[in-house]
Amino acid sequence: MKILVLNGPNLNLLGTREPEIYGYETLADIEAEMNACASQLGPDIQIDFRQTNSEAELITWIGDTRGKYDGIIINPAALTHTSLGVADALKAVADAVPAVEVHLSNTHRREEIRHKSLTASACIGQLMGFQGFGYILALRALVCELSE
């Protein structure tokens, strides 16, 4: 089982960017925790972990998943609220590569512009507000879903 974990704009700054909102974990910390969790869940679970500040690159990565990945975990970051392109890419592969959306903070407790997710309707589930642990929850849920 191969899972693509995608991280959008500014997530490369985790650990130093607004830690009161996003916490002190870095993206490397989250990647290490996900790999440890994947190995506990089973030897056949592989994680491909990526980050980009480019909307176009994110869309390309999503579009290239069919036949290569079994599922996607995505934190689109600010693109959650602005990108029809990312939403359309997720919808285009949803029949073969289901996705789970993750957010470090609870976006509903933040500015009103962050309350609407354009990408959530293209995903089988959404986790938010648990900081880095949300990625682990998403991995466990997606593996369970794919194993059915």
Q: Which CATH number is 37's domain given? A: 3.40.50.9100
User: Is the pLDDT assigned to residue 19 strictly greater than 80?
Assistant: no
Residue 109's domain comprises 2-114+129-147
In this structure, is residue 8 part of a structural domain?
Answer: yes
Q: Considering the entire predicted model, what is its pTM? A: 0.91
Q: Which active-site residues does the annotation give?
A: 22, 103
User: Is the pLDDT assigned to residue 114 strictly greater than 90?
Assistant: no
Note the pLDDT of residue 78. 87
3-class SS string, the chain: CEEEEEECCCHHHCCCCCHHHHCCCCHHHHHHHHHHHHHHHCCCCEEEEEECCCHHHHHHHHHCCCCCCCEEEEECHHHHHCCHHHHHHHHHHCCCCCEEEEECCCHHHCCHHHHCCCCHHHCCEEEECCCCHHHHHHHHHHHHHHHC
- pLDDT, tens digit (0-9, with 9 covering 90-100), for 67-110: 999 999 999 998 887 789 999 999 999 999 999 999 987 776 66
In this structure, is residue 33 part of a structural domain?
Answer: yes
Instruction: Report the domain count for the chain.
Output: 1
